[in-house]
Structure 1
């Protein structure tokens, strides 16, 4: 039995789908299926039931899962303890952020860790929150900035940043809808052709909840989970979308686009700093969290990002860096 097999089993169990687990693991689905079959043959039991909507663990699979979780955590803790024996940040961290936040502070964080903490190998990845949540639950990502997602027993979330949501569209159409103002009532988007991210994203859930309270049914023309195609469709006049301010910042001054802040009610999106509970929180991870808060505060102060930062004056931010 190999450690790799155990981690693949965990990914499959948490994702409930071989295809999703293969995507998280970064391997082909047939190879993942063979690995799970080999593990089942070695154990002499069936670990999963296959059904039309995916897979779920058998009773033996659930028992096996409960047995290996403490072992995997202990192995991760041993690795962490050895790497941090000198009392300085060390080890590997895979950290995910939304593309807008990565563009604002990602490079600076990587530069600081490269310079100050040479024993830390930091892997920075971009991803929309719906996907990052799956990566966190599967243990593929150690830390992430995500929107205020559904609670998970495998993820710890701390408040980080709250941003406004805006209606985003072609400039002429936006100015026609809301001339000589920077705001638009949320109920006014009823009847507009909308291009939105899918329902597995926190932004979409915030919007759907607000529409339900207002008794409004949106006219959703398409769901697009990629920012570049979404902006392209808006540019070509296929509809409007709703996005956080950080995503729109690169388009300020672009004559193709216009935007208005949604009010009455004001719509916001809260970003959280999330930690995978598939592994212990290390000194390096705590230092990364501190650096993220510091750099985010700087980005808000100098206008690279617009929002309200949570818990800036905290022990984590005030504590001195490791040397």
Structure 2
């Protein structure tokens, strides 16, 4: 390749390469793209020749990206998204919200907000194509930085240098238990009549997510600062399975009301307030500072904050808006 000469790489080649990177195999990517596998292989071979470097390593179980391939995949995602945003902005500048928007939720928030948000966007902004992903806060932060998603809800922001941060929800964490696994009285609203101190929680067997899950980090930070050593008998990185353990009275857990709002409402689980101290955390909406803000992402952000307020006001969610503190 001539020094200083930029090889002609078209957007289609980048699109094909990103598909292979995300699918992990040429055959799977070909199926997603609707192409014949030999044709897709030839496109990637041409791309490698243009760039004068190997991008993928083919193996019996799929493909692996080389160091150059990893770098190209990241840049290609940014380029493709930038083109898509540019087209939408030029076509509909100042007009109706439309186009793709991706948002990531941690599991407890996803259970509460994903369906109402999807239904609202579908009804009010039918030209917006919403994609919702669910993962731990650490992964969501990584996806924001790598521009795999536009918006993310997280509980921990270890480094805000690359992201804008907006607090959207403050919530307390409760001890969650099956009602018949609790010695005290349970009120009709699903809350225990008397609270429990954090010091007393350490005598109970707990099921919690592992580190670096955002909830676990918050809980351990409060415990350590108060000289409490929690008895975590099981770690499960699956919110439904954690809830199932508590429901079966196999262990207790510590969760926000949002994570078990339906179970508390139907009486299968109960909330016990934790005091001395109260374990409180804040949820933040983040987006990458350097990424352009589309009209579609703005309406998703607006509707999300509206839905949270409605959940608190109408559905008695045990949480508060940050401005109300």
Give your verdict on TM over 0.5. yes
The CA distance in 2 between the partners of 1:306 and 1:176, in whole Å, is: 20
Please list, as runs of the form range in 1=range in 2, the aligned pairs for 1:73-222 lying within 5 A after superposition.
74-85=82-93, 87-151=95-159, 154-175=162-183, 181-222=193-234
Distance 1:45 1:307, change over 3 A: same
Distance 1:277 1:105, change over 3 A: same
Distance 1:260 1:66, change over 3 A: closer
Identify the range of structure 1 (176-185 vs 135-144) with the bigger mean alpha-carbon deviation.
176-185
The one of 19, 24, 30 aligned to 1:28: 24
Quote the offset at 1:245 in angstroms.
1.2
Distance 1:120 1:309, change over 3 A: same
Aligned to 1:231: 243
Q: What's the secondary structure of 1:220's corresponding residue?
A: strand
The question of whether the paired residues in 1 share the 8 Å contact of 2:172 and 2:280 is answered with: yes
Q: Which runs of 5+ in 1 are unaligned?
A: 10-21, 49-54, 313-323
Aligned residues: 290
Quote the offset at 1:102 in angstroms.
4.5
TM superposition score normalised by structure 2: 0.72
Quote the offset at 1:74 in angstroms.
4.5
Distance 1:3 1:83, change over 3 A: farther
The question of whether the paired residues in 2 share the 8 Å contact of 1:83 and 1:90 is answered with: no
2:282 paired with 1:260: no
If you compute each CA radius of gyration, which structure gives the higher value, 1 or 2?
A: 2
The CA distance in 2 between the partners of 1:198 and 1:258, in whole Å, is: 23
The one of 1, 5, 15 aligned to 1:4: 15
Identify the range of structure 1 (152-161 vs 217-226) with the bigger mean alpha-carbon deviation.
152-161
Q: What's the secondary structure of 1:252's corresponding residue?
A: helix
Quote the offset at 1:127 in angstroms.
4.1
The question of whether the paired residues in 2 share the 8 Å contact of 1:77 and 1:279 is answered with: no
Distance 1:41 1:193, change over 3 A: farther
Quote the offset at 1:246 in angstroms.
0.8
The CA distance in 2 between the partners of 1:239 and 1:42, in whole Å, is: 58
The question of whether the paired residues in 2 share the 8 Å contact of 1:195 and 1:230 is answered with: yes
The CA distance in 1 between the partners of 2:135 and 2:70, in whole Å, is: 30
The CA distance in 1 between the partners of 2:238 and 2:290, in whole Å, is: 28
2:257 paired with 1:245: yes
The one of 11, 22, 43 aligned to 2:51: 43
Distance 1:238 1:115, change over 3 A: closer
